[in-house]
Chains A and B, each alone.
Chain A
Amino acid sequence: MTAHANALENTEAAPMWKSGSNLEKILAEGHFAVTGELGPPKSMNTKLVHNKIDMIKDFVDAANVTDNQTGIVRLSSIGTGILMEQEGLEAVIQMTCRDRNRLAIQSDLMGASVHGIRNVLCLSGDHQSFGNHRGAKNVHDVDSMQLIRMVQEMRDLNKFQGGEEIKGGGPRLFIGTAASPFSSPIEMRPLRLAKKVAAGADFAQSQMIFDMKLFKEYMKRVVDLGLHEKISFLAGVGPLKSPVMARFLHEQIPGIVVPEDCIERIEDAGKGIDSDDKKALQEAYRAEGIKLCIEQIQEVQEIEGVAGVHIMAIQWEAAIEPIVRGAGLYPRPNLGPTG
């Protein structure tokens, strides 16, 4: 049976699921979800993809696959996502508005769907000026909010954005959105999430959180607005690799706040080690980064409204296993085949 026929059959057999994805089921059954991230290579080296899949597939419920992140051309998120699904790792394909107009987005989402993709994360996309094709023309025909609504209407109303019916039904996708709780204007961020809920988002993954005090304030507003009942909120976390990386994230990336005590913890891990012994230093920093990440996961688990974690181990997929094990989140629930 082809994936398409399978999807059509499932539309009739299991209407209770919006998408039937593993992630949707994990969240629906009240498990604390774990998602990871897989960055495709700047090449067609599928061996690299398979290595990363092997590293993380037993430790996450699904993994995001980035869509030319930071404006750098890479193996496509859908192409990589298909490889992941073939290997038994559920994909959350990221879809940005930077590179495709509404025709291409809808077409690609249907294409992804017939290959068994069931989760999509709707993003504006990093600006091309940060990437390796700085003279490129961006598209932004629709914005991320409009993209969420478009996918939701394709799925629930079987309707193209232009109004025409999608014969046989639209792609059954679990719709994700990004949340950046600490970007400015900070007081509007919970309202922006509310708008995304209204547009049709099913789950949200946040930017990397290190400042728990600020995050708790944000989540309190999310809960006060009742959003946690309408959307599954996955808190973004990530292991710090070194003090340099910690400072870079804090100073250079909008929306990431790394408190001084976190940076100091990573720094202190290197104390007493010969500064020329780069390898030993790196190992010490990384071990502390993983430890800190585990503690943060345990802390966000206690915050009302948090339904899971999204672990962003940037170019460090090997960190996922010790983090998930350390946080007591292994083994992951096995809910049987998707669909």
Chain B
Amino acid sequence: MIVAEQKPLPDLQRMLKGKKKVLAVGCGTCVSVCFAGGQKETRGLAKALQTAAAVDGEEMVVEEKTVQRQCVQEFIEPLEDDLSEYDAVLSLGCGVGVQTMAERYPKTRVLPGLDTNFMGQPTEPGIWEERCVGCGNCVLEYTGGLCPITRCPKQLMNGPCGGSENGMCEVDTSIPCIWAKIWDNSDNLNLMDMLMEVQPPKDWSTSRGGGMRRTVVRDDLHQPHAIGKATKSEVEAMETSEEDEVPTPEDPHAGEREDAFLKEMGLA
């Protein structure tokens, strides 16, 4: 999932200074799971901003709405009709969500309410850790499923540097040296031969060095110019047909499992 945090309140106040009516738009997917931009957080932030403005003697109305997926144009279509009422939209989506809003509604001032951190996972209640940099050229095959490109500060591909001590990384001693972890598990996975091979320089052209990446992986699904141009009724039709085509897997315990997971993570 994508992990993000709310920007500090003073930064948001500075961005919104002089605006009379603002729409805060939350997102019900990744950023809601990391307590940054879900419905609850969006409501809370809207109130906080409005109160802060009042304290400063300014009149600012902050209304809020939360969409299920701010990163998909179809999901933000329903906002279209009301947007003209607002001086600005404060997006509580990740960086993708903010840009989806900004590109779909180019006449609306869309501002970022979050700092988007990384792709990662919750590891214990209140802690999220990065797991993938999206380099576009996965090396997990060679490293026992643990990513040195993401988790080693020097992105070493051929083993640890000298800064590994007691299994921790010298750059941040609260973070494990990922090469120590890879090594520790290498016997179990029979990785030794692979670890002794010199991995050649990585092809970074699929990573950030090559500029913005654009991927079409499914020609059968690709419909040029369709995205974002659909009308509301077409979207509804699409959603219906998607439901028809992809039936929800039958899992009578899905709800219980979800509850247990949330409880364990301290998110319940």
Contact = CB atoms under 8 A, between A and B. Distances in A.
A143 interface: yes
Given A254-B162, A254-B165, A98 B177 contact: no
Contact of B198 (A124, A129, A198): A198
Contacts, number: 94
Interface string A94-138: 000110001000000000000000000000111101000000001
B158 interface: yes
Given A143-B154, A195-B198, A129 B171 contact: yes
B119 interface: no
A191 B157 CA distance: 15
A178 B161 CA distance: 9
Contacts of A198: 196, 198
A260 to B, nearest CB: 18
A60 to B, nearest CB: 23
B35 interface: no
Contacts of A149: 198, 200
A194 interface: yes
A10 interface: no
B154 A124 contact: yes
Contacts of B167: 184-185
Range class of the A interface residue count: 20 to 34
A146 B165 contact: no
B165 A191 contact: no
Contacts of B199: 145-146
A195 B158 contact: yes
B162 A180 contact: yes
A140 interface: yes
A58 B153 CA distance: 39
Given A140-B154, A183-B160, A194-B196, A102 B201 contact: yes
A254 B154 contact: no
Contact of A184 (B157, B158, B166, B201): B166
A126 B169 CA distance: 12
Q: Name the residue among A125, A146, A188, A198 with the largest chain B CB count within 10 angstroms.
A: A188
Given A143-B157, A185-B180, A185-B184, A191 B164 contact: no
Interface residues of B, number: 28
A142 B161 contact: no
B183 interface: yes
A127 B162 contact: no
B204 A141 contact: yes
Contact of B154 (A127, A180, A194, A255): A127
A194 B163 CA distance: 19
Interface string A172-206: 00000010100111001001101100110000000
A130 B261 CA distance: 38
B159 interface: yes
A232 interface: no
B13 interface: no
Nearest to B157: A143
Contact of A195 (B166, B196, B204): B196
B201 A124 contact: no
B201 A185 contact: no
A275 B170 CA distance: 34
Contact of B163 (A140, A185, A192, A254): A254
B153 A184 contact: no
Q: Name the residue among B156, B162, B171, B202 with the largest chain A CB count within 10 angstroms.
A: B162
Q: Name the residue among A146, A185, A192 with the largest chain B CB count within 10 angstroms.
A: A185
A126 to B, nearest CB: 8
A145 B197 CA distance: 10
A144 interface: yes
Contact of B162 (A140, A178, A188): A178
29 contacts: A98-B154, A102-B201, A125-B154, A126-B163, A127-B153, A127-B154, A138-B154, A143-B155, A143-B156, A143-B157, A145-B198, A145-B199, A146-B157, A146-B158, A146-B200, A183-B165, A184-B160, A184-B165, A184-B166, A185-B167, A185-B183, A185-B184, A188-B159, A188-B183, A194-B196, A198-B198, A254-B163, A254-B170, A255-B163
Interface of B: 153-167, 170-171, 177, 180, 183-184, 196, 198-202, 204
Interface of A: 97-98, 102, 124-127, 129, 138, 140-146, 149-150, 161, 178, 180, 183-185, 188, 191-192, 194-195, 198-199, 207, 254-255
Given A145-B156, A149-B198, 11 more contacts: A124-B161, A127-B170, A138-B153, A143-B154, A145-B157, A146-B199, A150-B201, A192-B160, A195-B158, A254-B162, A255-B162
Q: Which 4 A-B pairs have the closest CB atoms?
A: A180-B162, A145-B158, A254-B165, A140-B155
